[in-house]
């Protein structure tokens, strides 16, 4: 069952309806609603299903805060206040690691959170020079993080230390032949580092959307305001490094 | 000329015998001349092949007048002969006069020599007479002496014998009286005398022990001596008397033959008691109840009381127990070390109490006295390592003072910052101008500099020439380089940079906790530090504290690089913060307005005017501290630039889709091609240290925000026109702030273009109307 979320903007504090669409799209009915308490004009700017909790958890971005909701009781689980200085533009969950999610916003940063400890981000990236509009984890290798920003750049980052394979691909000793036994020593001597893998500057205007291909885990696309769609690959060296 | 001198003239033979005398004289003269070294002329004349045996040689030994005259006659012409005759006459005359001169000169000397010899002759005659008389007398005396000694011979022997007996009897009397005398001495307390008597008699008594009378005397004496020893011991134990008296007791006891080790121990024990009493009184001073005296007084008392006492004890001990050898010295050293340790502990406690003050002079003087005291008395204390321990204490105190000064400097800096913040936050009274940023910056810089100089001066006291420990290797080397230069100065500069940077890192998302003016001021301060101040301070430090060891020091360039980096970060943060403020305004203005149903624009929106005012204010603020910067040359009609829709730099067909919707692809292609040729705007390019760059950064951020917000809304026709009016207004005023006005044009064109794309019914306003509205508003 695939799931998608539509994000709806609402200008008042009236309970904001959330809709869920699921196959088959015969009927769409309101499954539950939750109210956002608070002063001022609160809005839901973005939302995402958590892939881990059997479709019971949703995370939403509300202006500057990120909240998590339990759909069974429609109550708030966690809230990261003031995640980004001005506005949180997008969220994404780590497909392999529970409790980890990434958010990006108008302070030009991408922050990675552990939902069990919401006071402080686990990591932060500050590579962009203007608002970051999208952040996406690679579906299978969660150390690859893609971000698109209105400074017309797409940046592919390697967040190994907080991924599900911080030490690279570990192999059992019995599976190795004599020749291959030497390689883990090589790899263990140089653990992969966090950092920017590549910056793609083919766009001339703000990049508003980036995403990974669901067919090939090494392809991604980015879309900018001037109508340009650019499709890129992960550099080959890194791909083999991750695979082997 | 003499060699060629001819003999006398034609009248030769009658002058032959006459010629001999002058020739003799000539020879003599020649000898004299040779002697006096006047023979150069003759030598020159004689040089070629002069033969000493030559008979014709006037000055030679074998001169033969006949041969010479013959030769002359034969060889020389008449004129030459005449010449040589005159010449020779002249020479003869010269020789004569020379000889006379010699005689006259030495005449007086000859006369006086004669007189002296005559006198000597007289004197000798007289002496001879007297010597004869003396010999006669001596003979008489010898005679008499022999007669006298013969007469007195036997009497002499008897007298010697009696004298010997007399001496012996005196000694015996002394011995017999010894016990009573000793008792009297003991009663009177003249122990020294008693011991002396005892000493004198000891050997004799020992020898004649076998005689009963002597035996008795000896027993008596021993009893009394024991009694005396006991008394001495008692006196010693009481210990109320001062050290010299104690030393005397010990000396006497040693002379009496008491075992020296016991005495050692007792002596040391007594001394310990005394010194511990001193220490206790010192400790009492540390307590809180009486008002704590000056640290100088404390060290004085400690020095004179304790150390003086210790030195006396040591000196006395060494004198008294020198025979003990190394074991004794070891005991003393251990004793000194132990007590010295207690003393040092007390001193350290007292010094720890001093850490609060900022005046070093008193502390340095106290340390100086303390150190000097322990340096003076030589070998003993050196062995006990007390001098080294004292040096260590002084070093520790110096280090702590350095740390204290560093804290002081940091606190002063933070105080300055607080003052600046208060000054910035203070409400401006009407009509009174608050302190300008430049003034505040100058105040901060000068106050920090003065604090640094004060600290350096205070710390310099530690290395002053008069201070006794300033020669120690620590103070000459490590203190100056590591302690002062690295620890204090470099440490302070680094902490200044870090404090400044912490303003950048503080979660700015919370909102303006830091006033932006403070950021600007700090960035300018760090920049000034990088250009001038750091090198000035380090030069000052190096001058005052000559570094004499080789430990690595941070070069000036590293510190300058750090300062520059801090300044850059602060300035970037300032740009971000100010950009954020303006962006918020623009964002709110775009997001909260209903663009679909707005009315026809009559005037520029108030928010745009606010934006321009704020930008101007920021411009003024930055202009107070930073230089203008470089701007690209402006075209003459920049402020009158017509709106981009109809300008010549864009294709006419850009907005064609509003009239001819059949060609959307062309315009997109065209606009993309346009974009290829225009430079891409880097929103966060690194900010230079000048006003224009800062303002450019801020304006870029704000306009980019406006662009993004505009792209998210949908506009009605009048909404688009309002956007057009606003952008034109901004363009009229913002171009003068940026480095390259094309930037502003580009961004604003983008805004309007994006708005047009978001409009279902794009009908741009006439440019003349736009201008009228802008000029009016």
φ, ψ of residue A137 to 5 degrees: the values are: -85, 150
Length of chain A: 244
Is residue B518 scored above 70 in pLDDT?
A: yes
Average pLDDT, chain A: 77
Residue predicted with more confidence, B263 or B144: B144
The answer to whether B509 contacts A151, with C-beta atoms less than 8 Å apart, is no
CA distance B680 to chain A (A): 7
Band of residue B433 on the pLDDT scale cut at 50, 70, 90 = low
Q: What single DSSP character describes residue A117?
A: B
Domains: count for chain B: 4
Question: CA dist B563 to B243, B489, B525, B558, Å?
Answer: 64, 14, 9, 9
B348 and B230 assigned to the same domain: yes
Interface membership of A134 toward B (CB under 8 Å): no
**Bridge partners for A49 per DSSP:** A58
Least confident span in A126-140, B399-413, B549-563: B549-563
- How many whole angstroms separate alpha carbon B477 and alpha carbon B711? 67
Is residue B349 scored above 60 in pLDDT?
A: yes
- The dihedral sign for the CA sequence B678, B680, B684, B685: negative
Instruction: Out of A3-12, A171-180, B331-340, give the one with best mean pLDDT.
Output: B331-340
| Mean local confidence (pLDDT), B447-462 | 85
> Given the DSSP bridges, would you call strands A57-62 and A46-49 parallel, antiparallel or unpaired?
antiparallel
| Other Cβ atoms within 10 Å of B317 Cβ, number | 24
Q: Is residue B54 part of a domain?
A: no
Query: CB of B729 within 8 A of CB of B604?
Result: yes
B229 and B250 assigned to the same domain: yes
pLDDT in tens, B217-276: 778 878 887 887 787 777 777 765 566 676 677 777 777 777 777 777 777 777 787 778
Q: State the distance between the two ends of chain B, measured CA to CA, in whole angstroms.
A: 129
CA B735 to chain centre: 57
pLDDT for position A221: 93
The answer to whether B676 contacts A204, with C-beta atoms less than 8 Å apart, is yes
B152 and B255 assigned to the same domain: no
Is residue B302 scored above 80 in pLDDT?
A: no
Is residue B133 scored above 70 in pLDDT?
A: yes
Band of residue A20 on the pLDDT scale cut at 50, 70, 90 = very low
Is residue B684 scored above 70 in pLDDT?
A: no
**Residue B698, domain extent:** 582-628+674-776
Compute the CA torsion angle B281, B285, B286, B287 (nearest 10 deg): 100
B594 and B733 assigned to the same domain: yes
Domain A44-163+191-243 fold = Methylamine Dehydrogenase; Chain H (2.130.10)
End-of-domain residue from the set B158, B191, B224: B191
Residues of chain B positioned with their CB less than 8 A from the CB of A108: 684
Print burial letters for B361-379: b (CB count within 10 Å at least 16), e (below 16).
eebbbbbbbbbbbbbebee
Average pLDDT, chain B: 77
Question: CA dist B446 to B495, B560, B614, Å?
Answer: 18, 19, 31
Band of residue B655 on the pLDDT scale cut at 50, 70, 90 = very low
Q: Is residue B289 part of a domain?
A: yes
- How many whole angstroms separate alpha carbon B611 and alpha carbon B617? 10
CA distance B686 to chain A (A): 11
Instruction: Out of B345-349, B535-539, B546-550, B683-687, give the one with best mean pLDDT.
Output: B535-539
The answer to whether A86 contacts B584, with C-beta atoms less than 8 Å apart, is yes
Residues of chain A positioned with their CB less than 8 A from the CB of B708: 131, 150, 206
Structure tokens at B684: 């966060």
Q: Is residue B604 part of a domain?
A: yes
A91, with CB counted inside 10 A (0-12, 13-18, 19+), is: buried
B172 and B228 assigned to the same domain: no
The answer to whether B672 contacts A204, with C-beta atoms less than 8 Å apart, is yes
Print burial letters for B72-111: b (CB count within 10 Å at least 16), e (below 16).
beeebeeeebebbbeebeebbeebeebeeeeeeeeeeeee
Interface of A with B in 176-215 (CB under 8 A): 204-206
pLDDT for position B177: 81
B144 and B272 assigned to the same domain: no
- The dihedral sign for the CA sequence B171, B176, B178, B184: negative
Which residue's structure tokens are 């350095």? B402
Least confident span in A50-64, A197-211, B335-349, B423-437: B423-437
Query: CB of B590 within 8 A of CB of B751?
Result: no
B345 and B408 assigned to the same domain: no
B480 and B602 assigned to the same domain: no
Q: Is residue B754 part of a domain?
A: yes
Length of chain B: 777
pLDDT in tens, B204-215: 777 777 778 778
pLDDT for position B384: 59
Query: CB of B600 within 8 A of CB of B412?
Result: no
- How many whole angstroms separate alpha carbon B456 and alpha carbon B439? 26
Q: Between A and B, how many residue pairs show a Cβ–Cβ distance under 8 A? A: 39
Is residue B619 scored above 70 in pLDDT?
A: yes
Determine what percent of chain B is predicted with pLDDT higher than 90.
Answer: 8
B184 and B209 assigned to the same domain: no
For chain A, strand residue ranges (E) read 4-5, 16-17, 20-21, 33-34, 46-49, 57-62, 65-70, 75-80, 88-93, 100-105, 110-114, 123-125, 132-137, 144-149, 154-158, 195-200, 207-212, 219-224, 229-233
**Bridge partners for A196 per DSSP:** A157
**Bridge partners for A79 per DSSP:** A67
pLDDT for position B641: 45
Q: Is residue B391 part of a domain?
A: no
Interface membership of B704 toward A (CB under 8 Å): yes
- How many whole angstroms separate alpha carbon B723 and alpha carbon B756? 9
pLDDT for position B94: 95
Band of residue B95 on the pLDDT scale cut at 50, 70, 90 = very high
Domain coordinates of chain A in residue numbers?
Answer: 44-163+191-243
Alpha helices in B354-385 (DSSP H): 361-375, 379-383
The answer to whether B509 contacts A84, with C-beta atoms less than 8 Å apart, is yes
pLDDT in tens, A158-183: 888 877 777 766 665 555 444 444 44
Q: Is residue B664 part of a domain?
A: no
- How many whole angstroms separate alpha carbon A122 and alpha carbon A111? 8
B450 and B305 assigned to the same domain: no
Determine what percent of chain B is predicted with pLDDT higher than 70.
Answer: 79
- The dihedral sign for the CA sequence B304, B309, B314, B316: positive
Query: CB of B587 within 8 A of CB of B579?
Result: no
Q: Is residue B738 part of a domain?
A: yes
Sheet containing A219-224: which strands, arranged edge to edge?
Answer: A207-212, A219-224, A229-233
Is residue B598 scored above 80 in pLDDT?
A: yes
Alpha helices in chain A (DSSP H): 182-189, 236-243
Does an H or E element contain B263, and which? helix B260-286
Q: Is residue B138 part of a domain?
A: yes
- How many whole angstroms separate alpha carbon B734 and alpha carbon A125? 33
B541 and B599 assigned to the same domain: no
The answer to whether B684 contacts A151, with C-beta atoms less than 8 Å apart, is yes
A128, with CB counted inside 10 A (0-12, 13-18, 19+), is: buried
The answer to whether B704 contacts A130, with C-beta atoms less than 8 Å apart, is yes
Least confident span in A70-79, A131-140, A208-217, B471-480: B471-480
The two counts, helices (H) then strands (E), for chain A are 2, 19
B610 and B750 assigned to the same domain: yes
């Amino acid at each position: 069952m695939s799931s998608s979320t539509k994000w709806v903007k609402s200008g008042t504090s009236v309970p904001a309806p959330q809709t869920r669409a699921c196959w088959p799209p015969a009927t769409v009915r309101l499954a539950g609603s939750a109210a956002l308490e608070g002063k001022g004009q609160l809005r839901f700017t973005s939302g995402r299903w958590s892939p881990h909790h059997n479709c019971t958890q949703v995370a939403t971005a509300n202006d500057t805060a990120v909240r998590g909701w339990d759909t069974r009781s429609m109550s708030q689980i966690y809230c990261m206040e003031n995640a980004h200085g001005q506005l949180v533009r997008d969220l994404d969950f780590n497909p392999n690691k529970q409790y980890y999610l990434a958010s990006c916003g108008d302070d030009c940063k991408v922050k990675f959170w552990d939902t069990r400890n919401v006071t402080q981000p686990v990591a932060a990236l500050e590579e962009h020079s203007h608002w970051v509009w999208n952040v996406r984890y690679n579906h299978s290798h969660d150390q690859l993080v893609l971000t698109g920003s209105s400074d017309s750049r797409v940046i592919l980052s390697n967040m190994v230390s907080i991924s599900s394979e911080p030490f690279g691909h570990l192999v059992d000793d019995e599976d190795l032949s004599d020749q291959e036994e030497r390689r883990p020593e090589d790899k263990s001597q140089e653990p992969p580092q966090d950092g920017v893998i590549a910056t793609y500057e083919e766009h001339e205007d703000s990049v508003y959307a980036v995403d990974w291909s669901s067919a090939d885990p090494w392809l991604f696309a980015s879309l900018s305001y001037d109508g340009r769609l650019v499709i890129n690959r992960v550099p080959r060296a890194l791909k083999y490094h991750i695979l082997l | 000329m003499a060699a060629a001198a001819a003999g006398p003239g034609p009248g030769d033979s009658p002058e032959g015998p006459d010629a001999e005398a002058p020739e003799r004289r000539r020879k003599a003269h020649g000898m004299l001349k040779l002697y006096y070294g006047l023979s150069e002329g003759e030598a020159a004349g004689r040089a070629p092949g002069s033969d000493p045996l030559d008979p014709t040689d006037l000055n030679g030994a074998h001169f033969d007048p006949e041969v010479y005259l013959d030769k002359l006659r034969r060889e020389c012409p008449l004129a030459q002969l005449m010449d040589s005759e005159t010449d020779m006459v002249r020479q003869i005359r010269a020789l004569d006069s020379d000889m006379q001169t010699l005689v006259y000169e030495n005449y007086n000397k000859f006369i006086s020599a004669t007189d002296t010899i005559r006198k000597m002759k007289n004197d000798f005659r007289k002496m001879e007479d007297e010597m004869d008389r003396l010999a006669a007398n001596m003979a008489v005396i010898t005679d008499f002496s022999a007669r006298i000694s013969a007469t007195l011979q036997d009497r002499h022997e008897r007298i010697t014998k009696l004298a010997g007996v007399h001496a012996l009897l005196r000694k015996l009397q002394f011995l017999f009286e010894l016990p009573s005398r000793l008792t009297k001495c003991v009663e009177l307390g003249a122990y020294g005398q008693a011991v002396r008597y005892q000493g004198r008699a000891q050997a004799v008594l020992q020898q004649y022990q076998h005689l009963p009378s002597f035996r008795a005397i000896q027993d008596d004496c021993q009893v009394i001596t024991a009694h005396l020893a006991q008394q001495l011991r008692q006196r010693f134990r009481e210990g109320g008397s001062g050290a010299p008296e104690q030393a005397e007791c010990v000396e006497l006891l040693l002379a009496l033959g008491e075992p020296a080790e016991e005495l050692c121990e007792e002596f040391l024990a007594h001394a310990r008691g005394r010194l511990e009493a001193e220490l206790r009184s010192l400790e009492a001073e540390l307590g809180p109840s009486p008002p704590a005296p000056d640290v100088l007084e404390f060290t004085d008392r400690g020095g004179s009381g304790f150390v003086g006492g210790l030195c006396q004890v040591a000196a006395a001990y060494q004198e008294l127990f020198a025979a003990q050898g190394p074991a004794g010295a070891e005991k003393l050293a251990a004793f000194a070390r132990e007590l010295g340790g207690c003393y040092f502990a007390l001193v350290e406690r007292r010094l720890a109490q001093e850490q609060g003050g900022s005046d070093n002079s008193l502390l340095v003087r106290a340390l100086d006295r303390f150190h000097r005291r322990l340096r003076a008395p030589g070998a003993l204390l050196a062995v006990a390592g007390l001098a080294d321990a004292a040096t260590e204490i002084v070093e520790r105190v110096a280090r702590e003072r350095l740390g204290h000064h560093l804290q002081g400097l940091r606190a002063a800096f933070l105080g300055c910052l607080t003052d600046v913040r208060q000054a910035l936050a203070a409400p401006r009274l009407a009509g009174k101008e608050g302190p300008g940023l430049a003034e505040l910056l100058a105040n901060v810089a000068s106050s920090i500099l003065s604090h640094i100089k004060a600290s350096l001066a205070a710390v310099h006291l530690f290395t002053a020439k008069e201070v006794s420990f300033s020669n120690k290797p620590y103070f000459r080397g490590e203190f100056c380089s590591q302690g002062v230069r690295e620890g204090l100065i470099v440490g302070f500069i680094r902490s200044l940079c870090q404090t400044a940077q912490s303003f950048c890192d503080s979660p700015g998302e919370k909102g303006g906790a830091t006033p932006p003016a403070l950021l600007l001021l700090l960035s300018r301060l760090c920049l000034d530090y990088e250009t001038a101040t750091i090198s000035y301070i380090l030069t000052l430090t190096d001058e005052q504290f000559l570094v004499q060891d080789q430990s690595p020091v941070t070069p000036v360039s590293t510190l300058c690089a750090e300062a520059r980096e801090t300044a850059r970060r602060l300035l970037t943060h300032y740009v971000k913060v100010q950009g954020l403020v303006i962006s918020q305004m623009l964002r709110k203005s775009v997001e909260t307005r209903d663009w679909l149903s707005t009315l026809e624009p009559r005037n520029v929106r108030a928010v745009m005017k606010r934006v321009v005012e704020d930008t101007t204010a920021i411009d003024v603020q930055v202009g107070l501290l930073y230089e203008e910067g470089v701007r690209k040359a402006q075209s003459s009609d920049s402020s009158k630039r017509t709106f981009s829709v109809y300008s010549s730099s864009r294709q006419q067909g850009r907005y064609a889709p509003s009239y001819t919707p059949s060609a959307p692809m062309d315009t997109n292609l065209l606009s993309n091609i346009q974009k290829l040729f225009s430079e891409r705007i880097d929103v966060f390019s690194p900010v230079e240290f000048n006003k224009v760059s800062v303002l450019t950064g801020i304006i870029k951020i704000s306009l980019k925000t406006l662009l993004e917000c505009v792209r998210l809304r949908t506009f009605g026709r009048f909404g688009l026109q309002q956007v057009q009016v606003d952008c034109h207004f901004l363009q009229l005023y913002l171009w003068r702030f940026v480095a390259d006005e094309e930037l502003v044009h580009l961004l604003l064109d983008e805004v309007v273009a994006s708005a047009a794309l978001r409009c279902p019914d794009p009908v741009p306003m006439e440019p003349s109307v736009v201008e009228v509205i802008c000029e009016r508003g």
